Structure 1
Amino acid sequence: MSSSASTAASSGYVRDARDPRHLDRAVADLLAGLRRWRLGAALARLDIRNRYRGSVLGPFWMTASTAIMVVGIGLLYSTLFKLTLREYLPFLAVSLLVWGTINQIVADACQSFISSEGVIRQMPLPYTVHVLRFVFRNAIIAAHSLPLIAVVMLACGVLPGPEAIFVIPGLLLLAINGFSVGLFLGMVCARFRDIPQVVASFMQFAFFLSPILWKPELLGEMQVLLPLNPIYVLMETVRGPLVEGGAGLRIWAAALFYTAASCTIALLFFVRFRSRIAFWV
């Protein structure tokens, strides 16, 4: 036995090119990353602190921007759609907040590994920690805008009923999809650096196709096709319980289907290409 082989055997690490064990290593990375979720949360808080260093309002600048959009767009589109402000403003406030969170999650997903290039090359951390990092970061930023929804609802005299409890599983599905999309897009965009521009163009297109500024009822009979839009489905699991009396069973079934599909695709890619991420970044 050669000296290198004896050294590898004594250290307990033996690599066989004929048996790369991609699945075992991917699952081990996933579990190790989930066990270190506190590290991902701490890195997310550090990102927010560094991003808004020297700022007076910090993340609340986004809250102020959303508030201005709600008032401005609400006054205009409520007139165009012939809706009362009491009916339209709560819908618009929740829609813009959820859409902003989804849009930012997708944008950050494209950079989940690229932005962590230095850490990936220098420290043996699970790759999933970097994905958790941006998921926690967007969750914290979105939480700063939650008081805006409460203010709009109180001002309009519209309060959610007991079905609002279903917001919790809706947010959970949104977080799971954010994690899986971050895992998938993080690898694809690390390999092909022009993909983020394609994704950004797609999200602009999806904004106009999704009922964010307009209500689903305006489609009339075509409303039955909306569950084919995964962005609408994920939005409705959060928005429906707050302003529309809850989401229907078809919405929840579609949300579970899209979540299972995104997790499956992300896992398949992670198993196959995990070992190449360090070279791609």
Structure 2
Amino acid sequence: MQEPSPTRDLAADIARMTGTTDTDVPASRSTTFAAAWRDLVRGFQQHELWLQLGWQDIKQRYRRSTLGPLWITIATGVMALALGLLYSMLFQIPLADFLPHVTVGLIMWGFISGCIKDGADIFIDNEGLIKQLPSALSVHVYRLVWRQALFLAHNLVIWVVLMLIFPRDLGWEVLLAIPGMALLILNGVWVTMFFGIVATRYRDVAPLLEAMTQLLFYVTPIVWTTQTLKEQGGDIAQRALLAEINPLFHYLEIVRAPMIGEPIAAYHWWIVLGCTLVGLVLALLAMKQWRFRVSYWV
């Protein structure tokens, strides 16, 4: 007798949790913004499903590992220490000042790059579930963002240890990191949805995004600071202003600055809020036009 497929078993579990079956009619193909928004709301309401699936993804990835997800924390910590030591010597910046900058930047970058690169393959990787279940498309997006948020939470342990080693006078401003992270997660949703749909239709987009993400790492102030360049004066200081064009710089600042006890200008928040609004509109537009076609493209 043929053994049941793991994908089929997972599909059955999801069907029980969502109250759907394989014989249910497909979701509405209405190409309106209202229909796209309903998909996002319906997917969020199925939080029990994507919370469990996201946690299962982590358990499956580290199924026979002793340390489990802590390997990600260890890898991030080692990377931050190596880069912090190297660039603090190159830029002649005290390690106590530079290492927190690099560490928090790497932690937040891990979430951002994960949403971009993994988001491009989110619907392709869930081909079986998408074809077998008439569930909201956004469920798979929430699942990935939740998984990346769990990785982010694990990596925040590094920041706690760092603050114990290099104490800083953190006031109430550190609480600003909470809405900053919330905005980061909200942006993770639209980034995953938008690039997931586009990369499913055009398969060359995924490797292109991976290459661009690597490039963005070097042009974003993670292992370098704009303040260091400004202090050099001359043309170098002028070039430091180019960092302001990079939206990811502002996303990092609204979280990193409060966490390392540095002041943050209000314009960073306004730029992030503007980018978030534009991104949500782009995601809704992509869903409006192509949401119901994803099942045919995967």
**Shift in alpha-carbon separation, 1:260–1:23, aligned structure 2, 3 A:** closer
CA separation of 1:16 and 1:213: change in aligned 2, threshold 3 A: closer
CA 1:244–1:211 in 2, change beyond 3 Å: closer, same or farther?
farther
Superposed displacement of residue 159, structure 1: 4.5
**Alignment partner of 2:92: what SS?**
coil
2:257 alignment partner in structure 1:
240
- Structure 1 counterpart of 2:271, which letter? A
Residue 206 (1) aligns with residue 216 (2): yes
Task: Select between 168-177 and 150-159 the one with higher mean Cα deviation.
Answer: 150-159
Matching of residue 280 in structure 1 with residue 290 in structure 2: no
Amino acid at match of 2:189: F
Partner Cα distance (1:44, 1:129) in 2: 10
Contact 1:63 1:144 in 2 (8 A): yes
AA in 2 matched with 1:111: D
Residue matched to 2:158: 148
| 2-structure distance, mates of 1:84, 1:24 | 53
Q: What is the CA–CA distance in structure 1 between the aligned matches of 2:289 and 2:37, rounded to whole Å?
A: 12
Contact 1:227 1:251 in 2 (8 A): no
Q: What's the counterpart of residue 126 of structure 1?
A: 136
Query: What is the aligned counterpart of 1:87 among 80, 90, 97?
Result: 97
Structure 2 counterpart of 1:267, from 256, 265, 284? 284
Displacement of 1:16 in angstroms is 11
Structure 1 pair 16/91, CA: closer, same or farther in 2 (3 Å)? closer
My pick for the range that moved more, 112-121 or 219-228, is: 219-228
Counterpart-to-counterpart distance in 2, 1:231 and 1:90: 18
Unaligned ranges ≥5, structure 2? 1-24, 231-236
Change in Cα spacing, 1:159 to 1:111, as seen in structure 2 (3 Å) is: farther
SS at match of 1:144: helix
Aligned to 1:62: 72
Alpha-carbon separation, structure 1, partners of 2:125 and 2:205 = 15
> Are residue 257 (structure 1) and residue 267 (structure 2) matched?
no
Deviations 1:162-187 (A, max 9, x none): 10111111111101110001110110
Distance (whole Å) between structure 1 residues aligned to residue 142 and residue 250 of structure 2? 23
Structure 1 stretches of 4+ moved >6 Å: none
Query: Is 2:33–2:284's contact at 8 Å kept on the other side of the alignment?
Result: no
Q: What is the one-letter code of the residue matched to 2:138?
A: T
Count of residues in correspondence between the two structures:
266
Distance 1:211 1:28 in 2: 37
The equivalences for 1:40-189 within 5 A come to: 40-189=50-199
Report SS of the residue matched to 1:124.
coil
Distance 1:77 1:266 in 2: 37
Aligned residue type for 1:261: V
Look up the SS of the partner of 1:142 in the other structure: helix
TM-score normalised to structure 1 length: 0.90
- Tell me if the contact between 1:66 and 1:97 (Cα under 8 Å) persists in the aligned partners: yes
Specify whether residues 21 and 117 from structure 1 end up closer, same or farther in structure 2 by C-alpha distance, changes over 3 A only: same
- Between the aligned partners of 1:108 and 1:247, the Cα distance in structure 2 is 30
CA contact (8 A) 2:84 2:102 kept: yes
1:159 & 1:115 partners in 2: Cα distance?
Answer: 45
Residue 66 of structure 1 deviates from its aligned partner by 1.4
Give the Cα separation in 2 of the matches to 1:80 and 1:16: 57
Q: What amino acid sits opposite 2:275 in the alignment?
A: Y
Pairwise CA RMSD: 1.8
Q: Alignment partner of 2:122: what SS?
A: coil
TM-score between both structures, scaled by the size of structure 2:
0.85
**Conserved? CA contact 1:161–1:245, under 8 Å:** no
